[in-house]
Amino acid sequence: MKRRFLVAFLLLFFSYSLNIYAVEEEPSPPPNIGFSLNLLGPIFGIYSLGVSSFLTSRVQLGLNGTYFDTRSVDPKVTGWQTQVRMNYFFSPLYKSGFYIGIFGGFESVQIKNNSGRSDNYTDPIGGIIPGYRWSMTKKLDMLLGVMIGYMYGDIQISPELSFVYLL
């Protein structure tokens, strides 16, 4: 676990140090609104939608909502989760590169195991998301990351794959 955090930290530092020497043109102004969607989630019963806006060309603030109904996956999760999220991009706008995000919010979920045990969690959530932004076009980004934080009543590590469409 410590090695994974060390590798993530070194990758972020390496990306940041390369961007210091890059000649970059900051677009003015950054896009004012974007919509995010997790396209792979519905396969597993996770429906997520978000709206975000850039505060600067590197800082993005967003609000995400998720509804869970994972009937075909063990453990079965039903309920909802909402997050306020902030991403810092190490690369300039419209360029691919690493990012780090932080999130906080609230959840109300019920988790049923195959053993028949059921747990309800209605509590705050929070964590970090190191990842990579792939700028597919000037209007479409793909975020690939790892969510590390407190959710479902315990510390969780889960992948993130979402698409952000910028208006």
* Res 33 pLDDT > 50: yes
Bridge partners, 77 (sequence order): 111
What confidence tier does 71 reach under pLDDT thresholds 50, 70, 90? confident
Q: How do residues 119-144 score in pLDDT, each as one tens digit?
A: 999 999 999 999 999 999 989 999 99
Mean pLDDT value across residues 68-93? 89
pLDDT single digits (tens) 82-114: 999 999 999 988 899 999 999 999 999 999 887
pLDDT reported for residue 21:
44
**Average pLDDT of every residue of the chain:** 84
Domains of the chain: 30-166 (2.40.160.20)
Whether 7 shows a pLDDT value over 90: the answer reads no
If 0-12 CB within 10 Å is exposed, 13-18 middle and 19+ buried, where does residue 125 land? Answer: buried
What does pTM read for this prediction?
0.77
Contact present, 32 and 54 (Cβ < 8 Å) = yes
